[in-house]
Amino acid sequence: MKYKLLYSFLLFISFLSVKAQLLTLDDCVQKALELNYGIQIAKNSENISRVSLKSYSVFLPAVYGTASYNNTYRSGTQVGANGDEITLKNASSLNSGASVNLNWRIFDGLSMFFTNSKNKALLDISTLNTVLEIEQLIANVCAAYYNVWIQTKLLEASENIVDISKQRFSIANSKYQIGSISGLEYRQSKIDLNADSSMFMLQQQALTTAYISLNKLMNSDLTKENYVQDTLVLLPLFNYKEIVDSALHQNTSLLIFQKGIRLSELDVKNSLSQFFPMVDFSTGYQFSYAKSPASFSVQNQSHGLYWGFTARIPIFSRMENLRNNRIAKYELQNAELQYKDVELNVLSALAELYNIYRNNHKLLGFEMENVDITSETLEIAIEKYRIGTLSGVEFREFQRAYIEAVKRLMNASYQAKVSEIGLQLLSGKLK
């Protein structure tokens, strides 16, 4: 038909004009990963954990220096043992000193080793949280990208309907002028054209909204449009048992909760370290100087090196150590239960999503066939309406059948693709 050829030509010209600006799905995902604020925050959190791990502060000694200077003035009377009386007026007393000290905990019931292991586990969790954020962003970008594609196809179908309604109105107008149809049918064709034009405008709005959602994920210009290039292609049907096995071993949320169990195990071990003695080693160099005219020793100066060990042995701590150990064991049990709960939720979501995914795969064949049939029928209907063997009401039903078939096809395609992405996300295969 002429309008289809014209539309294809205009679409081709439009493609040539924006070719340099088109973005593939991979382009959009890459841009989102580089600019999305959520990813930047997750990476910074991971870097914080990495800095904490690399400090090794729990194994290292603490070295610090101190310095003091005090000058006091005193007035008064002192009586010595021999009965001599000394009167002081604004007598100056000077005390000053400096030292360099090193304190090193050399044994704490292995708590320092458990703390270092916890830092490693926390880094693993931060890394997995970054991965989870990236996976979720990729899934969101894919869904938003394909939503733009769906809304574009619906807009094309809506424009097609408007073109056909314009033809119908033109035919009805010609017939009305020569008196072969009533004014009622003529006015109805105008009402249907206006309704289809309104639907077209609403679909333009839906497409713009879809582009805004995609631009937001990429932290891009929110008004940018007409750059989606890829088409929607479904992967071969997934095997349910394979994705379940993959989810149990690769799902990022499950991996995070596994690390949570590891943290709780380390807390239990760390609580046992409170039952062991702690041994500290200290050493340093001190210098002191004192001057006081009101003292038997008018001036005193000393310096020297010192070192020693200090042991703190827990004998009775009001049952705090035992209480902390019991709490840590309960927290370990909670961590294990939380993992099982998350595992159940993942498997449940996987089963529900796979059911939607499989059904939409089945629906696609029927809906594609329906679109082909309704499209061919619509072409025949416009010719029959032109020659007067089909009424306007009957023709309108063919139009509605076509647009509804297109909507069902697009919905089934989108749901199948989104559920496919969701299955990849839950099974840890979304890359």
- For 272-319, write each residue's pLDDT tens digit: 888 889 888 999 899 887 776 655 556 777 888 989 888 888 888 778
CA distance 276 to 109: 5
Q: What does residue 95 show for φ and ψ, rounded to 5 degrees? A: -130, 125
**Token reading at 314:** 């827990």
Structure tokens at 390: 């089909």
In whole angstroms, give the CA distance from residue 342 to residue 350.
Answer: 12
Coil, helix or strand for 47?
helix
CB 212 within 8 A of CB 222: yes
Instruction: Tally Cβ neighbours within 10 Å of residue 376.
Output: 11
* C-alpha to C-alpha distance for 334 and 328, rounded to whole angstroms: 10
Kindly report the backbone phi and psi dihedral angles of residue 319, in degrees, each rounded to the nearest multiple of 5, phi listed first: 70, 15
Structural tokens at position 76: 């008064």
Which structure tokens are listed for 366? Answer: 């029927």
What is the side-by-side order of every strand in the sheet holding 278-291?
62-79, 85-107, 278-291, 299-312
The answer to whether 393 and 181 are in contact (CB under 8 A) is no
Q: 149: burial class by Cβ within 10 Å (0-12, 13-18, 19+)?
A: buried
Owner of token pair 């039952």: 275
Half-sphere exposure of 19 (CA within 13 A, CB side): 6
Count CB neighbours of 99 within 10 A: 16
Does this model's pTM top 0.85? no
Please tell me the chain's helix, strand, coil percentages from 3-state DSSP, rounded to the nearest 5: 65, 15, 15
pLDDT in tens, the chain (431 residues): 433 433 343 343 343 344 437 899 999 999 999 988 888 898 888 888 888 776 677 788 889 899 988 877 666 666 666 666 666 666 677 788 899 999 988 888 888 888 888 888 988 999 999 999 999 999 999 999 999 999 999 999 999 999 999 999 999 888 888 888 788 888 999 999 999 999 999 999 999 999 999 999 999 999 999 999 888 889 999 999 999 999 999 999 999 999 999 999 999 998 988 888 988 899 989 988 777 665 555 677 788 898 988 888 888 877 888 898 999 999 999 999 999 999 999 999 999 999 999 999 999 989 999 999 999 999 999 899 888 888 888 999 999 999 999 999 999 999 999 999 999 999 998 86
Asked if 254 contacts 345 with a C-beta cutoff of 8 angstroms, the reply is no
> What is the enclosing helix (H) or strand (E) of 277?
none
DSSP class of residue 80 equals -
